[in-house]
């Protein structure tokens, strides 16, 4: 694609070159580098089994049977044995079925022979004989509140268990084995309804050469010049999971696909390949594809009108998920509704399924968070704007960019260093020529409370002059090759490299020690870390990653743990950063990771990897970020501007407007791309970008409050339509507009070229939506046209909400700490409400109560706005409240007032025992805009209870 | 800029300075805030009580009611009527701080050395007045800068003087060269005449008979030519086969490289692969046509190797005389031609039979000593003429080259400076080339050659440098002059344009390279200090350059 200009130096030549560079943006992923289902043995086998079962229809019998004599229920945990009939003998598959208080149930199936080690491995492999049973150890933090009063009953070959909240029941059919999860008698989730269940038991490889060796993919698989020795032969697990009456499913990131997942077995508008989860460094990934990407969260949410359920497939091996939808209702009287049927396949490990009952999204996310943990409340700076590029080439370059942001009055909090800052890609070092004095650079940044994020990857340079590399080898902390004895050597940025094995506790402890300020010389407390390439990316490995037969700590095969690998690495980095300042001085780390798994939300933020500077990638980002929120990892963003290629100024500007609504907001660019720091764009673009970034900063109080809610309840920060309006089926597939936290702010960023207006779906009949900027009113349900010239972002405020903001722009978010608030009250007939959460944004003092948590409620009855305290133990906040006592509310804006307010000049303010008047100004709304009043400097403190009486 | 102008207007009309200016207002502007009410400076319809000036709430849409707080910091820059928060900076220089930096908890000493911007002690910050020390340091810097600038101006004057001399020298040389050329031209004409005469004489000479041998000289020659021709044909045949084999191998190798380029992953940044792909692309760009077989050439080859069009035997057998006289025929009408031909043939026959004329005439190229000498003399004279003309062209080109106002860059031509930045040594020669040389290995990359001088306005410079005043340290760094030397047509960038450099000049006592930055892919920016820009304001330099341009076009 890339071609040099043969025309020499003429300006025509230059034009041609730039034209070519535009054309080459439409380059595509190299499909040949990644497996299709047909190229992945177990996926092919399980799909074939599914096809056979489907073809056989009712005559197909699943070979799995629950041995009724083995069933026992104790303290909420049912144990039994499933027998797999393989002709002369049965394979014993122990089942553990756990029932939790909150209605969550877990089905875990293992293989007896492997549990007891009665198998033989080929090629003298030293790998472990058990099926991998430690995914839970990494992914879960809960799931042990067993419902001890669960009640069991068996009759007519069906075992029923009543558990959890009233009305929850599980029905296990013994032969063939299948499970129904019911709520008030109605099935919401069914396992093995279609008889796709498959547990490939261990078997010896047949000796004689002409005998039946089974499938050609059982014993060896070659791909891309690498042969997988498969010492345990075939061992996949698969299950079909049906959601009766549920026509939409979401989740299972990471895919560049729509939020509402598509069918995968062909047909108009559908995919032909299953959604794949196998963390990989997919170069120039394509959009609208079920291909795997950098991270995996095998959590799926199913939604139908009025109900939602979820499934969590706890398996860290390569996984594929087929989705089809059956139109179940041929009765013309009721609307047609689909049943979604899914088919989950993993290459190895346990069959381990959690069924989460919902029945609404907020409960579901809480249930999922109780299992895998909630997203960490981030350091406050990390939700502000980040400026990155591959690469800022020197400390002077960094200082220059830093200075330019100030000179152009554009706020930013964090500047980033990609791999080139190191001395020859040796992490924990600095290039001695370009970063001679990182400490002075970091101190310069710190003057404005700015931070540096430096990249540290898991590949460690294989270089005998690199002390850390030598330590890794000598201490045996690297991932081993398939012999289990020799450290694995592959190719990455530094050239020949080894990979740290963070499954090893000793390796993690060592890793932690490397971040000591004395060890990572030149790093400082305002240095944070970016973990890239942790899929792991191995340039010369199969599918750009590690061979599956590599051996990790405790002799687990890489095959078993692949999707966990990235998480173990960023967890280790997180632990190191948390305690750098010494005991009692823990700080909330900021770690960005590219690879992740269920549970990663506890320690890291993610971004969507190497996207491209074109409009389609801008549009693709929101469905991806929404899916991250569904799957419990909302601290997510996409590279603003697009990583590869050069965005037009319009695209860059629109991307900043969109990025201002990414939970993780970072501009980034490839090393071959032109410089594109916002101040370079020229007018009017610079001013528009400045406005977009300032908008983000002014809304930081609400962003932080939304993160806070995510951190203890799991509610996504960007809320898709179906989460907000679970009864409005018409909006279940919407993924290009969304709500910001609990603020009622509805945003539809522009993601296509040349747009001057856009259609926004306003979902409610009786609620007014006000334009965020000029208070234009949108009444009534339907698709509404909203103006969207380049300088504006379509943003509406749902009436009934109160939005806390900080309107004074500063150079960084840290410098806004003591600035006054503005409260915007979007009036609805029933009143309005909002929440604000504030803490110091960097320590863990909030865990000891050092935070401010306020409610703002406007009561239309007595026309009073009240600030109330939501802190459960206010005394514990005393010290922090004292620090914040001078922070006031400088302005209250009531939007949507009637003409009665016209003559109002003052309002009465009460705080504690004192009462005073504040001025108000009425602004009449014209041309379809709502009238509003502004309370001028009411002088109320953010930490105090107060009222403003408008009567 | 807009608000600055506005403010200038306001301040220039200020006649009386009022002692008590509100916080953040300069004494010159204090009068605007006098009285019992305040009217927004650019929104006269809005009047507020004085108590609402600096009460930390933004009332005026132009921010003029809050010069001493950050309350109006959110307003768009284009709306602001005030330049910012005025720091008096006694013992130093007063300055304006952007409103967004007032009471943000940071002592902005680089602009506000008196610490007056943090009067609210937000978060417990306390900024003591550092104007005394900063004032001293700034004055020291200022003095140093002035000294350097003085040296720079001296350097500039020397350059101008030198340039004048050089121009004079060049102009003189043009004159002398022109005279020289005139002389040589005469000489060449004479020699040409001499040569013609010598040749004429030669032609008229009666040719001796050849000694012996089959077919005489021509026969020998033809025999040798035939042999030689056959040898050449065989050789050509062989070379062609070898070439075809080589082309085949090249095609294979190119195929491998093309596949590599198609299939490699640029994101992996494997230097080996990247270098190979880069080299391959450069090769493609340069070699594009050479590997292709040209059909016409190929046909020529086929002809050469096919049936020999020359019947050598015929030449061997027939001794067709090749006298110059023979050419007379060409001038005759067809009927006479035949008659003349016959007569001549007969006459010739007689001459040959009588031993007067050699059967084969002289081959051209075999010349007498006299002709050789005349030719050599002419050649020498012609070469001398060429050299002088080349020199003249070079001199004129040089005289017409834009060396800036007063030709100030003329003496600098070819002077080189360099600096080590990161892993490279950057080298730059005035009116020459710019290079990037690796400090790790000996590789060198051309960043371009001098193309032209450009002049940017101070506004342009401001536009690149943002909205606000620079800090005092930064302000005392010598500013850019606006004179830019453009270097382009450097080595082609992989996946980018040809490398180029904008050399931004600032006044300096000596030539120096202050900073190097890759502003965008393969477009470099050097900041170079030189006395050459110490003497002129950019406007003057620019004006002159316009004149020059006009002159050049005439």
For residue B177, tell me if it sits in a domain: no
List of chain A residues whose C-beta atoms are within 8 Å of the C-beta of residue B59 = 936
Taking CA–CA distances from B70, the nearest residue in chain A reads A808
Contact (CB<8Å) B520/A610? no
Residues B315 and B340 in one domain: no
- Number of C-alpha atoms within 13 angstroms, CB side, residue A266? 0
Give the number of other Cβ atoms within 10 Å of residue B110's Cβ.
17
Please give the share of chain A, as a percent, with pLDDT higher than 70. Answer: 95
Q: What's the token pair of residue B440?
A: 């790790």
Domain-embedded: residue B538: yes
Lowest mean pLDDT among A302-306, B178-182, B401-405, B443-447: B401-405
Residue B333 confidence (pLDDT) above 70: no
**A residues 103-162 closer than 8 Å to B (CB):** none
A614 is catalytic: no
Determine contact, residues A445/A386, Cβ cutoff 8 Å: no
pLDDT at B261: 80
Residue A192 lies inside a defined structural domain of this protein: yes
Q: Are residues B28 and B101 in the same domain?
A: yes
Please indicate whether, in this complex, the C-beta atoms of B489 and A400 are within 8 angstroms of each other. no
Residue A314 distance to chain B (closest CA, Å): 32
A921 close to B (CB below 8 A): no
Tokens (6 digits) for A256: 């560049």
Which pLDDT belongs to residue B553? Answer: 39
Q: Please check the confidence at residue B12 and state whether its pLDDT lies above 60.
A: no
Q: Is A112 within a domain? A: yes
CATH number for the domain spanning B499: value is 2.70.130.10
> Is A406 within the bounds of a domain?
no
Tokens of B154: 């001296």
- Closest Cα of chain A to B523: distance in Å? 9
pLDDT tens figures, A917-938: 999 999 999 999 999 999 999 9
Is A859 at the interface with chain B, CB within 8 A? no
pLDDT on residue A795: 98
Q: Name the active-site residue from A352, A532, A677, A839.
A: A532
CB-based contact, A672 to chain B, within 8 Å:
yes
Q: How far apart are the first and last CA of chain B?
A: 39
A420-424, B43-47, B421-425, B491-495, range with the lowest pLDDT: B491-495
Q: State how far the Cα of B503 lies from the Cα of A328, in Å rounded to an integer.
A: 73
Taking the Cβ of residue A399 and every Cβ of chain B, the question of whether any pair is shorter than 8 Å is answered with no
- Cα A720 from Cα A743, distance rounded (Å): 13
Measured between CB atoms, which of A409, A448, A818 is closest to B98?
Answer: A409
Strands A248-251 and A299-304: antiparallel
Asked whether residue B519 is assigned to any structural domain, the reply reads yes
pLDDT tens-digit series, residues B505-529 = 999 999 999 989 887 778 899 999 9
Whether B326 and B344 have beta carbons less than 8 Å apart is answered as yes
Residue B359 lies in a domain: yes
CB pair distance less than 8 Å for B422 and A394: yes
Range of the domain at B311: 216-319
pLDDT in the model for residue B226: 78
Tell me what pLDDT residue B356 has.
63
| pLDDT above 70 (res A16) | no
CATH number at residue A326: 2.60.40.1760
Tell me if A117 is assigned to some domain: yes
Angle in degrees, CA B32, B36, B42, rounded to 5? 40
Is A919 part of the contact surface with chain B (CB cutoff 8 Å)? no
Among A165-169, B54-58, B544-548, the minimum mean pLDDT is found in B544-548
Cβ of B14: how many Cβ atoms within 10 Å?
15
- Pick the closest to residue B23 from B10, B33, B15, B14 (CA basis): B33
- Report the residue of chain B nearest A430, measured CA to CA: B422
Question: For residue A1, what pLDDT is reported?
Answer: 36
B354 shares a domain with B265:
no
What's the rounded mean pLDDT across residues B386-391?
91
The arithmetic mean of pLDDT across residues A182-193, rounded, is: 96
Task: Tell me the two tokens of residue B266.
Answer: 């640029």
Q: Which residue of A3, A21, A407 is in closest CB contact with B467?
A: A407
Which one of A240, A281, A610, A691 is the catalytic residue? A610
Q: What share of chain A is helix, strand, coil (3-state, %, to 5)?
A: 25, 30, 45
The domain of A867 spans 820-951
Q: What's the rounded Cα separation, in Å, for the pair B364 and B510? A: 66
What are A860-909's pLDDT values in tens digits?
999 999 999 999 999 999 999 999 999 999 999 999 999 999 999 999 99
For the record, the structure tokens of B133 come out as 């020390």
Q: Report how far Cα A434 is from the mean position of its chain's Cα atoms.
A: 35
B533/B430 same-domain check: yes
Active-site residue among A134, A535, A639, A677?
Answer: A535
The domain boundary, picked from A307, A337, A372, lies at A372
Pick among A224, A421, A808 to test the B interface (most B CBs inside 10 A): A808
Band the pLDDT of A6: cuts 50, 70, 90. very low
Nearest by CB: B106 against A5, A448, A675: A448
pLDDT of residue B257: 84
- In the numeric block, which tokens belong to residue A143? 């799931």
Among A184-193, A225-234, B358-367, which is the least confidently predicted range?
A: B358-367
- The answer to whether residues B311 and B324 belong to one domain is no
pLDDT tens-digit readout, A749-775 = 999 999 999 999 999 998 999 999 999
| Cβ–Cβ contact A412 with B under 8 A | no
Per residue in A574-633, pLDDT (tens digit) is 999 999 999 999 999 999 999 999 999 999 999 999 999 999 999 999 999 999 999 999
B486 part of a folded domain: yes
In angstroms, what separates the C-alpha of A899 from chain B's closest C-alpha? 23
pLDDT of amino acid B222:
72
Do B276 and B324 lie in a common domain?
A: no
Concerning whether A67 is annotated as a catalytic residue, the answer is no
Among A354, A372, A390, the domain boundary falls at: A372
Find residue A109's DSSP bridge partners. A95, A351
pLDDT on residue A378: 98
* pLDDT for res B284: 80
Q: What percent of chain A has pLDDT above 90?
A: 91
Residue that terminates a domain, selected from A322, A337, A372? A372
Q: Which residues in chain B are contacts of A810 at CB distance < 8 A?
A: 70, 73, 100-101, 104
pLDDT attached to residue A59 = 74
Q: CATH number, domain at A894?
A: 2.60.40.1180
> What is the structure's pLDDT at B552?
42
Lowest-confidence region among A235-244, A441-450, B98-107, B179-188: B179-188
Q: Which of A346-355, A510-519, B67-76, B355-364 has the lowest mean pLDDT?
A: B355-364
pLDDT (mean) for A252-262: 98
Radius of gyration (C-alpha) of chain B in whole angstroms: 41
Chain A, residues 277-336, CB within 8 A of chain B, namely: 283-284
Digit-coded pLDDT (tens) for A454-490 = 999 999 999 999 999 999 999 999 999 999 999 999 9
Nearest to A665 by CA among A724, A740, A603: A740
Q: B313 with B339, same domain?
A: no
Q: Output the pLDDT for position B316.
A: 58
Q: Nearest 5°: CA angle at B41, between B38 and B42?
A: 140
How big is the A-B interface in CB pairs under 8 Å? 128
pLDDT higher than threshold 60 for residue B19: no
- Determine the Cα–Cα distance for residues B280 and B260; give it in Å rounded to an integer: 10
Residue to test with chain A: of B63, B287, B292, B422, most A Cβ within 10 A: B422
pLDDT confidence of residue A602: 98
- A518 at B interface, C-beta within 8 A: no
Residues of A in Cβ contact (< 8 Å) with B56: 820, 890, 937
B278 and B245 inside one domain: yes
- Longest Cα–Cα distance in chain A: 98
The partner residues of B419 in beta bridges, in order of sequence, read: B426
- Of B39, B36, B57, B59, give the one whose Cα is nearest residue B47: B39
Percentage of chain B surpassing pLDDT 70?
A: 75
Please determine, for residue A398, whether its predicted confidence score (pLDDT) is greater than 70: yes
Say if residue A700's pLDDT is above 50. yes
CA distance B466 to chain A (A): 5
Q: In chain B, whose CA is at the least distance from the CA of A644?
A: B267
Cβ contact B281–A610 (<8 Å):
no
Name the residue in chain B with its Cα closest to that of A492. Answer: B268
pLDDT score recorded for residue B220: 67
Same structural domain for residues B548 and B411?
A: yes
Over range A495-518, report the average pLDDT: 97
Cβ-defined contact of A434 to B70 (cutoff 8 Å): no
Per-residue pLDDT at B338 exceeds 90: no
Q: Are strands A414-417 and B500-507 parallel, antiparallel or unpaired?
A: unpaired
Structural domain includes residue B267: yes
Weakest mean pLDDT among A220-229, A936-945, B279-288:
B279-288
Say whether both B294 and B350 belong to one domain: no
- Partner B contacted by A28 (CB < 8 A): no
Distance between CA A221 and CA A227 in Å, rounded?
A: 6
| B80 in the same domain as B63 | yes
Q: Interface pTM (ipTM) of the complex? A: 0.89
Per the structure, the count of domains in chain B is: 4
On whether residue B143 sits in a domain, the answer given is: no
Residue B356: half-sphere exposure toward Cβ, Cα within 13 Å: 7
Given CB atoms, is A3 within the 8 Å cutoff of chain B? yes
- Cβ-count burial A803-841 (b if 16+ within 10 Å, e if not): bbbbbbbbbbbbbbbbbbbbbbbbbbeebbbbbbbbbbb
Per DSSP, the three-state class of A439 is helix
CB contacts of B73 in chain A (<8 Å) are 808-810
Number of structural domains chain A divides into? 2
pLDDT of residue B275: 77
pLDDT at B330: 61
pLDDT at B9 over 60: no
Residue A769 lies in a domain: no
| Contact: B74, A809; criterion CB under 8 Å | yes
Backbone angles phi, psi at A744, to 5 degrees: 75, 10
Mean pLDDT for chain A?
94
Residues 428-457 on A with a CB inside 8 Å of B are 431, 433-434, 447-448
In angstroms, the separation between the Cα of residue A697 and the nearest Cα of chain B is: 11
For the stretch B258-298, pLDDT in tens is 888 877 766 565 667 777 887 888 788 776 555 556 677 77
From the list B71, B129, B137, B143, the residue with the least C-alpha distance to B100 is B71
B57, B100, B106: residue with CB nearest A890: B57
B468/A407 CB distance under 8 A: yes
Q: Is A774 a catalytic residue?
A: no
| Parallel, antiparallel or unpaired: strands A851-859 and A864-869 | antiparallel
- pLDDT confidence of residue A336: 62
Tokens of B530: 């030189």
pLDDT in tens, A773-807: 999 999 989 999 999 999 999 999 999 999 999 99
Please check whether residue A574 lies inside any domain of the structure: no
**Is A874 part of any domain?**
yes
pLDDT tens digit sequence for A658-684: 999 999 999 999 998 889 999 999 999
A631 domain-assigned = no
Q: Check whether A20 has a pLDDT greater than 50.
A: no
pLDDT at B366 (0 to 100): 55
Shared domain check, B537 and B414: yes
The Cβ-side half-sphere exposure at A216, using a 13 Å CA radius, reads 3
Please report the DSSP string for A488-503 in residue order: --EEETTEEEEEB-TT
Q: Tell me which chain A residues have a C-beta less than 8 angstroms from the C-beta of B266.
A: 672
Inside any domain, residue B220: yes
Of B55, B495, B497, the CB nearest to A14: B497
């Amino acid at each position: 694609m890339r071609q040099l200009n043969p025309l020499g130096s003429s300006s025509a030549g230059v034009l041609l070159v730039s034209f070519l560079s535009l054309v080459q943006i439409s380059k595509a992923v190299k499909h040949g580098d990644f497996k299709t289902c047909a190229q992945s043995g177990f996926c092919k086998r399980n799909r074939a089994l599914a096809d056979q079962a489907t073809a056989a229809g009712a005559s197909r019998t699943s070979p799995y049977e629950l041995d009724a004599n083995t069933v026992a229920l104790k303290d909420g945990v049912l144990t039994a044995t499933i027998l797999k009939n393989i002709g002369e003998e049965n394979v014993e598959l122990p089942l553990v079925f756990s029932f939790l208080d909150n209605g969550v149930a877990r089905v875990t199936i293992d293989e007896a022979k492997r549990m007891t080690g009665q198998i033989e491995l080929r090629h003298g492999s030293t790998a472990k004989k058990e099926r991998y049973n430690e995914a839970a150890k990494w992914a879960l933090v809960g799931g042990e509140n067993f419902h001890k009063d669960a009640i069991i009953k068996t009759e007519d070959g069906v075992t029923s268990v009543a558990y959890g909240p009233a009305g929850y029941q599980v029905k296990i059919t013994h032969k063939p084995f299948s499970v129904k999860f019911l709520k008030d008698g109605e099935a919401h989730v069914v396992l093995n309804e279609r008889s796709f269940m498959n547990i490939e038991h261990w078997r010896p490889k047949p000796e004689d050469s002409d005998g039946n060796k089974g499938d050609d993919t059982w014993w060896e698989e070659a791909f891309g010049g690498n042969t997988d020795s498969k010492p345990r032969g075939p061992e996949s697990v698969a299950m079909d999971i049906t959601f009766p009456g549920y026509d939409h499913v979401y989740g299972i990131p990471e895919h560049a696909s729509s939020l509402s997942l598509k069918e995968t077995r062909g047909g108009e508008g559908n995919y032909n390949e299953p959604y794949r989860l196998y963390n990989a460094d997919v170069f120039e990934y394509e959009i609208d594809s079920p291909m795997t990407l950098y991270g995996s969260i095998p959590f799926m949410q199913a939604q139908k009108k009025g109900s939602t359920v979820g499934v969590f497939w706890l398996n860290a091996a390569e996984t594929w998920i087929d989705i089809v939808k059956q139109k179940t209702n041929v009765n013309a009287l009721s609307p047609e509704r689909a049943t979604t049927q899914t088919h989950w396949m993993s290459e190895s490990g346990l069959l381990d399924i959690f069924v989460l009952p919902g029945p609404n999204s907020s409960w579901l996310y809480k249930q999922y968070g109780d299992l895998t943990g909630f997203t960490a409340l981030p350091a406050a700076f990390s939700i502000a704007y980040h400026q990155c590029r591959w690469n800022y080439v020197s400390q002077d370059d960094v200082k220059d960019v830093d200075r330019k942001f100030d000179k152009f009055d554009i706020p930013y909090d964090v500047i980033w260093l990609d791999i080139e800052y190191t001395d020859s890609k040796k992490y924990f070092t600095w290039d001695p020529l370009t970063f001679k004095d990182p400490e002075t650079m970091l101190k310069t940044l710190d003057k404005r409370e700015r931070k540096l994020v430096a990249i540290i990857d898991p590949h460690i340079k294989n270089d005998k002059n690199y002390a850390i590399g030598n330590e890794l080898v000598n201490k045996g902390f690297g991932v081993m090759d398939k012999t289990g004895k020799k450290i694995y050597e592959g190719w990455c940025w530094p050239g020949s490299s080894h990979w740290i094995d963070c499954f090893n506790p000793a390796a993690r402890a060592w890793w932690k020690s490397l971040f000591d300020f004395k060890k990572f010389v030149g790093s400082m407390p305002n240095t944070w870390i970016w973990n890239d390439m942790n899929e792991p990316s191995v340039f010369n490995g199969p599918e750009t990653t590690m061979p599956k037969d590599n051996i990790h700590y405790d002799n687990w095969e890489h095959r078993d743990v692949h999707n966990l690998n990235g998480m173990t690495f960023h967890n280790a980095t997180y632990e190191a950063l948390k305690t750098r300042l010494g005991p009692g001085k823990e700080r909330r780390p900021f770690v960005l990771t590219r690879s992740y798994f269920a549970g990663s939300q506890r320690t890291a933020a993610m971004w969507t990897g190497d996207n491209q500077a074109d409009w389609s990638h801008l549009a693709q980002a929101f469905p991806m970020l929404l899916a991250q929120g569904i799957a419990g990892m909302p601290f997510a963003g996409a590279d603003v501007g697009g990583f590869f290629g050069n965005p037009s100024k319009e695209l860059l500007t629109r991307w900043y407007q969109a990025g201002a609504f990414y939970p993780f907001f970072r501009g980034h660019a490839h090393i071959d791309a032109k410089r594109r720091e916002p101040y370079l764009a020229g007018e009017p673009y610079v001013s528009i970008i400045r406005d977009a970034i300032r908008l983000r900063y002014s809304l930081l109080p609400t962003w932080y409050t939304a993160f806070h809610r995510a951190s203890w309840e799991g509610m996504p920060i960007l809320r898709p339509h179906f989460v907000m309006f679970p009864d409005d089926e018409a909006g279940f597939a919407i993924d290009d507009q969304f709500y910001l936290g609990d603020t009622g702010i509805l945003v539809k960023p522009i993601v296509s070229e040349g747009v001057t207006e856009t259609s926004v779906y306003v979902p409610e009949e009786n609620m007014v939506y006000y334009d965020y900027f000029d208070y234009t009113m949108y009444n009534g349900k339907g698709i509404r046209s909203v103006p969207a010239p380049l300088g504006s972002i379509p943003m509406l405020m749902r009436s009934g909400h109160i939005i806390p903001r900080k309107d004074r722009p500063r150079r960084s978010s840290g410098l806004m700490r003591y600035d006054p608030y503005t409260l915007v009250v979007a009036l609805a007939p029933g009143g309005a409400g909002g929440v604000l959460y504030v803490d110091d944004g960097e320590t863990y003092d909030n865990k000891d109560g050092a935070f401010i948590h306020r409610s703002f409620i406007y009561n239309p009855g007595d026309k009073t706005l009240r600030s109330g305290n939501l802190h459960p133990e206010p005394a514990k906040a005393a010290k922090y409240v004292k620090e914040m006592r001078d922070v006031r509310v400088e302005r209250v804006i009531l939007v949507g007032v009637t003409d009665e307010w016209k003559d109002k000049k003052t309002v009465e303010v009460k705080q504690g025992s004192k009462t005073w008047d504040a001025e108000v100004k009425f602004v009449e709304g014209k041309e379809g805009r709502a009238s509003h009043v502004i309370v001028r400097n009411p002088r109320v403190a953010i930490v105090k209870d107060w009222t403003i009486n408008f009567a | 800029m807009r608000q600055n102008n506005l403010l200038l207007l306001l301040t220039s009309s200020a006649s009386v300075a009022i002692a008590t200016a509100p916080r953040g207002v300069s004494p010159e502007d204090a009068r605007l805030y006098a009285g019992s009410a305040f009217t927004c400076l650019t929104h006269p319809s809005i009047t507020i009580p004085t108590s609402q000036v600096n009460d930390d709430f933004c009332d005026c849409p132009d921010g003029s009611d809050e010069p001493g707080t950050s309350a109006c910091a959110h307003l768009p820059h284009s709306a602001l009527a005030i330049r910012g928060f005025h720091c008096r900076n006694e013992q130093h220089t007063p300055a304006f701080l952007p409103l967004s930096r007032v009471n943000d908890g940071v002592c902005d000493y680089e602009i506000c050395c008196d610490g007056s911007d943090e009067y609210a002690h937000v978060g417990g910050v306390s900024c003591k007045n550092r104007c005394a020390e900063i004032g001293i340091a700034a004055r020291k810097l200022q003095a140093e800068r002035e000294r350097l600038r003085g040296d720079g101006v001296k350097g500039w004057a020397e350059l101008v003087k030198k340039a004048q001399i050089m121009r004079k020298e060049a102009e003189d040389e043009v004159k002398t060269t022109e005279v020289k050329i005139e002389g040589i031209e005469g000489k060449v004409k004479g020699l040409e005449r001499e040569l013609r005469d010598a040749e004429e004489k030669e032609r008229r000479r009666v040719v001796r008979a050849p000694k012996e041998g089959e077919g005489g000289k021509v026969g020998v020659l033809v025999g040798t030519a035939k042999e030689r021709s056959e040898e050449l044909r065989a050789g050509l045949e062989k070379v062609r086969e070898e070439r075809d084999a080589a082309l085949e191998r090249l095609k294979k190798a190119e195929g491998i490289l093309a596949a590599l380029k198609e299939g490699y992953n640029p994101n992996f940044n494997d230097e080996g692969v990247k270098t190979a792909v880069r080299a391959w692309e450069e090769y493609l760009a340069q070699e594009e046509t050479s590997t292709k077989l040209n059909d016409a050439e190929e046909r020529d080859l086929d002809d050469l190797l096919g049936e020999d069009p020359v019947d050598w035997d015929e030449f061997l057998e027939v001794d067709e005389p090749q006298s110059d006289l023979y050419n007379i025929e060409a001038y005759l009408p067809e009927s006479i031609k035949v008659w003349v031909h016959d007569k001549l043939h007969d006459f010739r026959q007689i001459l040959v039979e009588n031993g007067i004329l050699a059967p084969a005439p002289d081959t051209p190229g075999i010349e007498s000593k006299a002709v050789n000498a005349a030719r050599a003399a002419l050649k020498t004279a012609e070469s001398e003429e060429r050299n002088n003309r080349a020199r003249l062209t070079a001199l004129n080109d040089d005289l017409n080259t834009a060396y800036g106002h007063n030709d100030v860059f003329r003496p600098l031509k070819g002077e080189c400076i360099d600096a080590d930045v990161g892993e490279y040594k950057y080298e730059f020669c005035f009116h020459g080339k710019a290079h990037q040389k690796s400090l790790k290995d000996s590789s060198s990359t051309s960043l371009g050659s001098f193309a032209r001088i450009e002049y940017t306005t101070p506004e342009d410079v401001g536009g690149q440098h943002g909205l606000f005043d620079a800090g005092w340290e930064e302000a005392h760094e010598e500013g850019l002059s606006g004179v830019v030397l453009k270097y382009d047509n450097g080595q082609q960038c992989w996946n980018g344009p040809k490398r180029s450099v904008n050399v931004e000049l600032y006044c300096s006592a000596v030539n120096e390279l202050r900073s190097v930055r890759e502003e965008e892919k393969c477009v470099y920016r050097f900041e170079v200090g030189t006395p050459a820009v110490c003497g002129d304001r950019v406007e003057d330099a620019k004006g002159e350059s316009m004149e020059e341009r006009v002159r050049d076009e005439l």
